[in-house]
Amino acid sequence: MTTPYSRERAVEIIAAHAHVDGPLLPMLHALNAEFGHVPDEVVPVIAATLNLTRAEVHGVVTFYHDFKREPGGRHVLKLCRAEACQAAGGDAIAARAEAKLKITMGETAPDKSVTLEAVYCLGLCAVGPAAMLDERVIGRIDDVRLDRLIAEARA
């Protein structure tokens, strides 16, 4: 569960990681874990703390897909888009998810219930297509299982 953004808490997190070796990535991971995203407001604070430019920090935040720039949904539904899952019907599952949620990959439902994300291997190639709802991985996704996952995420 993430907490709402607070500048004071963000500064605490930045300070706690400022003196570790290679502090930028651990700092960004901690902010992302705490707030569910890396708020744009903290980029100048990180840059000043680490003697980096804002562009350098922004470049790292935007390069890695795990760092979110705005809060996501209460749940995250990840659908495997790798070749094995595509061959097992993953394209149809992804299209169905987008249609049912009325969003595209990388977006969050307007009610903030769920964020839909593409991933490129969940390690379930033999039982694809695969999905992950929050931290739970599920294989053999079909229309019925997908509908249940979406209903669970929206509940």
Residue in 125, 106, 93, 20 with CA at minimum distance from that of residue 67: 106
Query: How distant is the alpha carbon of residue 87 from its chain centre?
Result: 24
Instruction: Look at residue 89 and tell me whether its pLDDT is greater than 80.
Output: yes
- Give the domain ranges of the chain: 7-63, 75-154
Q: Are 96 and 146 in contact (CB under 8 A)?
A: yes
Q: What is the pLDDT of residue 136?
A: 96
Q: What is the mean pLDDT of residues 119-141?
A: 96
Segment 29-73, tens digit of pLDDT: 999 999 989 999 999 999 999 999 999 999 999 999 889 898 889
Quote the CA–CA distance of 79 and 85 in Å, as a whole number: 9
Can you give the pTM of this predicted structure? 0.78
Q: What is the pLDDT of residue 72?
A: 87
Q: What is the mean pLDDT of residues 114-118?
A: 95
Using alpha carbons, list the distances in angstroms from residue 5 to 115, 118, 128, 145, 147.
Answer: 18, 25, 37, 34, 32
Indicate the fold that domain 75-154 takes in CATH: Glutaredoxin (3.40.30)
Quote the CA–CA distance of 151 and 155 in Å, as a whole number: 6
Joined together, the tokens standing for residue 114 give 């769920």
